[in-house]
């Protein structure tokens, strides 16, 4: 709480964890602002029931300086605001996400997000789909203006979802661009 992450590859990470709350922090000038993800082949096989709220995430456009090629953060696209990758029941709310070159807030499948071929994806020991995540009450503007070549251009927006998983929803966010054009609303 009340921390500043600046000049890193990853500002903040929630990796294979349950019940974490990441709130009231700032992430500025990193490669990726906030990453919440499930990685394969670890003892804990899930990332669920976490909350990312009331954070300031801005201009995370630093070149990825990761030096260990097997480290998952080496694949984080420059300009990542908040990424929820293969997570379940995470809530992302009341954040301000501005001026990240690739995207503001993205919810994605592990295999699609890491460009893993289907044959290799089938070997994972995790469920790669994001399910039951809620993205609400965020202010997300000016993202996706100069996307990394690691992402498809359609995802260079303020709010992005790759269409995988079930029960993911978005409500009462202030933003200019989204993909797909009509994100599912929370009930």
> Does the CA dihedral 139-48-157-151 come out positive or negative?
positive
For the chain, what percent of residues have pLDDT higher than 90? 90
Question: What is the model's pTM?
Answer: 0.97
- In this predicted structure, what is the pLDDT of residue 107? 98
Q: Which residues contact 106 (CB under 8 A, 6 or more apart)?
A: 80, 81, 82, 83, 84, 113, 155, 159, 160, 161, 162
For the chain, what percent of residues have pLDDT higher than 70? 100
Six-digit token string for 111: 């295999």
DSSP for 73-129 reads GGGPPTTEEEEEES-BS-EEES-EEE--SSEEEEEE-HHHHTT--HHHHTT-SS--S
- In this predicted structure, what is the pLDDT of residue 147? 95
For 134-159, what is each residue's pLDDT tens digit?
999 999 999 999 999 989 888 999 99
Q: What dihedral angle (degrees, nearest 10) is formed by the CA atoms of 120, 91, 99, 172?
A: 130
Q: Indicate the SS3 state at residue 175.
A: strand
Parallel, antiparallel, or unpaired: how do β-strands 51-53 and 4-6 relate?
Answer: unpaired
- In this predicted structure, what is the pLDDT of residue 32? 98
Q: For the range 156-159, what are the long-range contacts, defined as Cβ-Cβ under 8 Å and sequence gap of 24 or more?
A: 156/102, 156/103, 157/103, 157/104, 158/97, 158/103, 158/104, 158/105, 159/104, 159/105, 159/106, 159/135, 159/183
Identify whether the C-beta of residue 175 lies closer than 8 Å to the C-beta of residue 136.
Answer: no
Q: Indicate the SS3 state at residue 45.
A: coil
- In this predicted structure, what is the pLDDT of residue 154? 87
The closest of 56, 41, 136 to 86, measured between CA atoms, is 41
Residues of the chain with confidence (pLDDT) below 50: none
């Amino acid at each position: 709480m009340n921390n500043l992450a600046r000049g890193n590859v990853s500002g903040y990470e929630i990796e294979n964890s349950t019940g974490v709350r990441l709130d009231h922090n700032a992430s500025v000038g990193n490669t990726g602002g906030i990453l919440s993800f499930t990685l394969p082949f670890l003892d804990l096989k899930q990332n669920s029931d976490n909350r990312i709220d009331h954070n300031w995430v801005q201009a995370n456009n630093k070149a990825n300086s990761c030096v260990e090629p097997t480290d998952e953060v080496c694949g984080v696209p420059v300009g990542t605001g908040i990424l929820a990758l293969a997570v379940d029941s995470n809530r992302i709310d009341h954040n301000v996400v501005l001026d990240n070159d690739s995207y503001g807030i993205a919810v994605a499948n592990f295999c699609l997000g890491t460009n893993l071929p289907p044959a290799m994806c089938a070997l994972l020991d995790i469920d790669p789909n994001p399910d039951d995540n809620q993205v609400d009450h965020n202010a997300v503007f000016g993202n996706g203006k100069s996307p990394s070549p690691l992402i498809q251009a359609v995802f260079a927006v303020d709010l992005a979802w790759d269409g995988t998983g079930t029960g993911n929803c978005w409500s009462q966010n202030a933003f200019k661009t989204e993909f797909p054009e009509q994100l599912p609303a929370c009930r």
